Structure 1
Amino acid sequence: MKPILISVFCLFIFNGFSYAQNKKEWLEDIEYYKKTLEDKHINLYHTISKKEFNTEIKTLKHKLSTLNNFQIIVELMRITQKIGAGAGDGHTSVPLWNKELNKYPLELINLDGELKVVSITSKHQQCLGKTLKSINGIPVEEIYKKVSKLTPFTENNYSLMDRTCSYMVISEILKALHIITNTQNVEFTFIDEQGINMSIILKAYSKDALTKINYKKIKNTHSSIAVSKDEKNKNFWFTTLNNSKTVYINFNAYPLKDDITNFSKQIYNVIETNKSKHLIIDLRDNHGGDFFKGLILANYLNACNSINWQSNVYVLINRKTYSAAMVNAIQFKQILHAKLVGEPTGSNPNGYQDLGQFSLPNSKLLITYSKRKFRFQNINTNGLQPDVYIDLKWNSYKNNKDDVLNWVLKDIAKVEL
């Protein structure tokens, strides 16, 4: 019995030491977090006062003994969002990029306050298109309110809707907020358009495991657009429509500088060869990158003389048009005389941007911050406002009807008549 007792005693001592050491490391991390943000952020106290920030830090330090590791991370997410008040400084955040997270295999979209299922496992495809009502018996409105106070890269209501839907399916966040206790068997309850409830049990999966799951999705494509099958260029490609009179550019992500230069030359050659008249640049779902790369594209496009620069250049935007993509949308409007069509963007034209980052010394938690303040228009607006506002409607979305692109194609058709 003695060896067993000694082993248990040693284990107790080790765990106690490990626990105390962990809290000491968190104190170091929190102090480093505060000092580094003050040193590196262009203007840390533009929204939150220094007094309020110091109070938040002091309160978190006092609470450390009552929190587990991920609850501490969640508290840092909440405090960091308050730096921009969830509005003016989305680039200052705790994005969880370098953390091993587990997510539930479904994707949600917020339409008129209802969280609709747009992707889910094939096993539960009967829930596709239904509205999420509760998780673990807790009403979705309560969960949404809690998670929305943590989300990174939130600058306005449009980015808030997008980010909250994404972070609501992370099991570690739900557990830290006491919404769930068992991450592997959680009840999700949905309601259909007839008011009938349906509950299923979902398990959380790692990032790698999620890629191996078969999903049923509501596809968001357009019948006129031949989507690129090139895996390398799946987020940056172009095609022609209307007997090459129209060039459609899918700009979902930023490629390497050399790639965008070569790509821009190809588009220029196609436009010049076919004497194309109409230009559509689709910046929807582009989360950002380097807006100077977008200017390379604009430079080549501006040299195309056949385009109807007076009225037939369009840039498509939505709530998932962020950061550099939002900036390029403004620049394309200015340089290419483009008409902005769709939803307001998730990023604001005026505010703190240009992302920098650092890691906390012990936890290695990644923190991002704003290095610059940009002002791309004369008035402050919540999101870049489109010239033609087209709201995202569920009836169109579920039937794979792209109202934004349809409006543009009809507008082009008027010219061709």
Structure 2
Amino acid sequence: MTIQRTSAALSRRDILAAAIVATSGAAIAGTPVAGTPTSALTGTQWREDIRFLFEGLRRRHRDLFHHTPEPRYRAGIENLCARCGEMESWRVIAGIQHVVALAGDGHTFLFAKGLYRSYPFETAWFGDEIRVVRTAPEYGWLLGSRIERLDGLGPRAIARRLDRVIPQAETPWYVLGQRPDRLRRAELLAALGVAKSPDRITLEATSATSVHSEHVIEAMSGGKADDGLAHALGPRLPDLPDRGFAWRRLENGSVVHLNFRGYENLPQLAARFFADLHGAPPRVLVIDLRENSGGNYTLPREHIIAPLQEMPALNRAGRLFVLIGRKTFSAAMTNATDFRRETEALLVGEPAGARPNGYQELQTFTLPNSGLKVGCSTAAYRFGAPGDLAVVPDLPVAPDWTSFARGRDIALDAAIAHWRSTAA
């Protein structure tokens, strides 16, 4: 995959993106999300918020125009200001999400939780294929289906529209990891031109048994929790006491798989983890950062990497592995580079979502009229060599649909297979 440079001119694609987000929705009778305080705002109030947004980003961001040149960024802001008085509130919110994403980095974003209603399914990208991987119980029949079209649009057209509200200056794998969330949001899909209505969408799909069908899917009522998607495919972890930092033993105790998703209480949890390792030393340790979106990157340096450096039986090639992927972001990406530099670990999986040289250190602010919350990067970091565009694994293992549908964790399997091949 290549990362394109941004032209300083306002391109035809930019104009089209702004037009789709800003188009008046008089013909669409959308229902605002329950409890959203934005539906009564006037055009003047929205314009105040949009200009406050731009000035807030410009003052706080380490380099707001590192990805999108200033003339193009200002044109996007002015276009939204000019049209917001004609638009439903959810279209304005989608427009704000678009102009924030122009910053390019994943730490600069609109906090969108609760701003849109959701559809009762979740997807994942496998190459150019879109597969349904989680559903609400009543839509379990949709699991495993390949989405052919949404309101007449094929996967590539869907991706192009979703990418307008996804920062594009991280890695291409970051974009793959973000698309499933955007594809669930009903009003956002209508604003982007993926759906014809903010209330429902026509889904054409081919089932796991190769049956082609078409269904009209209604958006879930406002406020219905996203965690209701109980039916799921893919590799599953056993029930563990702390899903943010938990471990299990495989291969008759020879392999320890550490599921490291979060940094909360890390010093205490890591102390218990190493006590367990010393009590029954494994032959292989696999540290899984694939679902880790970040935290305080200094903590693993002290509480995981430093203790591992004192365990030569594990800290050696072929015995220590770190799994990374499209959702490995922020501090987790930083810690992946730490493991590569400070230990003998091999990185396994697909490239990390975050760029090694980019923008981090989140600061937030709130728009005065709508109350919308915005995150902004305030610092630049270099965790890779100049010119590095991604943290690339030593042992590449790309997710594939067949293995995923069967519940196989092929990255974990690859790490264990590598150990066996070197131990033989």
The answer to whether the 8 Å contact 1:253/1:288 transfers is yes
Deviation string for 1:347-367 (max 9, x for gaps)? 111111221111111111111
The answer to whether the 8 Å contact 2:144/2:208 transfers is no
- Residue number among 210, 215, 228 corresponding to 1:200 in the alignment: 215
SS in structure 1 of the partner of residue 215 of structure 2: strand
Which is further off, 203-212 or 334-343?
203-212
The answer to whether the 8 Å contact 2:318/2:418 transfers is no
Structure 2 segments unaligned to the other structure (5+ residues):
1-37
Deviation string for 1:222-244 (max 9, x for gaps)? xxxx72432xx122101233454
Distance 1:214 1:129 in 2: 14
* Residue 28 of structure 2: aligned partner: none
Amino acid at match of 2:166: T
Alignment pair present for 1:95 and 2:130: no
The answer to whether the 8 Å contact 2:120/2:139 transfers is no
Distance 1:75 1:319, change over 3 A: same
- Residue number among 278, 295, 305 corresponding to 1:298 in the alignment: 305
Amino acid at match of 2:90: F
Following superposition, the deviation at residue 387 of structure 1 comes to 0.3
Following superposition, the deviation at residue 308 of structure 1 comes to 4.4
Alignment pair present for 1:158 and 2:169: no
* Residue 287 of structure 1: aligned partner: 293
TM-score, length of structure 1 as denominator length: 0.85
* Residue 400 of structure 1: aligned partner: 407
Deviation string for 1:245-290 (max 9, x for gaps)? 43221112221xxx21111112222222223332110111212222
* Residue 7 of structure 1: aligned partner: none
* 1:3-14 superposed matches below 5 A: none
* 1:266-281 superposed matches below 5 A: 266-281=272-287
Distance 1:36 1:402, change over 3 A: same
Distance 1:345 1:19, change over 3 A: closer
Distance 2:330 2:350 in 1: 15
The answer to whether the 8 Å contact 1:247/1:279 transfers is yes
* Residue 130 of structure 1: aligned partner: 145
The answer to whether the 8 Å contact 2:174/2:353 transfers is yes
Q: CA RMSD in A?
A: 2.5
Larger radius of gyration: 1
The answer to whether the 8 Å contact 2:287/2:323 transfers is yes
* Residue 326 of structure 2: aligned partner: 319
Alignment pair present for 1:141 and 2:171: no
- Residue number among 353, 363, 387 corresponding to 2:370 in the alignment: 363
Distance 1:360 1:102 in 2: 21
The answer to whether the 8 Å contact 1:32/1:360 transfers is yes
Deviation string for 1:162-214 (max 9, x for gaps)? 21121011011022234445444432211246764212232222575345746
SS in structure 1 of the partner of residue 165 of structure 2: coil
Distance 1:214 1:370, change over 3 A: closer
Following superposition, the deviation at residue 380 of structure 1 comes to 2.9
Alignment length (residue pairs): 386
Distance 1:123 1:21 in 2: 36
Distance 1:382 1:162 in 2: 17
Alignment pair present for 1:374 and 2:381: yes
Distance 1:44 1:213, change over 3 A: closer
Which is further off, 234-243 or 285-294?
234-243
SS in structure 2 of the partner of residue 209 of structure 1: coil
Following superposition, the deviation at residue 298 of structure 1 comes to 1.8
TM-score, length of structure 2 as denominator length: 0.84
Amino acid at match of 2:55: K
Distance 2:281 2:418 in 1: 19
Amino acid at match of 2:85: S
Amino acid at match of 2:62: I
* Residue 3 of structure 1: aligned partner: none
Distance 1:406 1:23, change over 3 A: same
SS in structure 1 of the partner of residue 355 of structure 2: coil
* Residue 31 of structure 2: aligned partner: none
Alignment pair present for 1:251 and 2:267: no
Which is further off, 133-142 or 285-294?
133-142
Alignment pair present for 1:328 and 2:335: yes
The answer to whether the 8 Å contact 2:121/2:229 transfers is no
SS in structure 2 of the partner of residue 149 of structure 1: helix
Following superposition, the deviation at residue 331 of structure 1 comes to 0.5
User: Percent identity of the aligned residues?
Assistant: 24
* 1:208-227 superposed matches below 5 A: 209-210=224-225, 213=228, 215-221=230-236, 227=238
Following superposition, the deviation at residue 325 of structure 1 comes to 0.8
Distance 2:110 2:190 in 1: 18
Deviation string for 1:311-339 (max 9, x for gaps)? 41100011111111111111111122210
* Residue 234 of structure 1: aligned partner: 243
Deviation string for 1:42-70 (max 9, x for gaps)? 11122222222222222222112222222
- Residue number among 409, 412, 417 corresponding to 2:419 in the alignment: 412
Which is further off, 234-243 or 338-347?
234-243
Which is further off, 275-284 or 311-320?
275-284
Distance 1:346 1:68, change over 3 A: same
Amino acid at match of 1:54: R
* Residue 124 of structure 2: aligned partner: 109
SS in structure 2 of the partner of residue 109 of structure 1: strand
Distance 1:161 1:364 in 2: 29
- Residue number among 88, 96, 107 corresponding to 1:68 in the alignment: 88
Following superposition, the deviation at residue 368 of structure 1 comes to 1.2
* 1:377-392 superposed matches below 5 A: 377-392=384-399
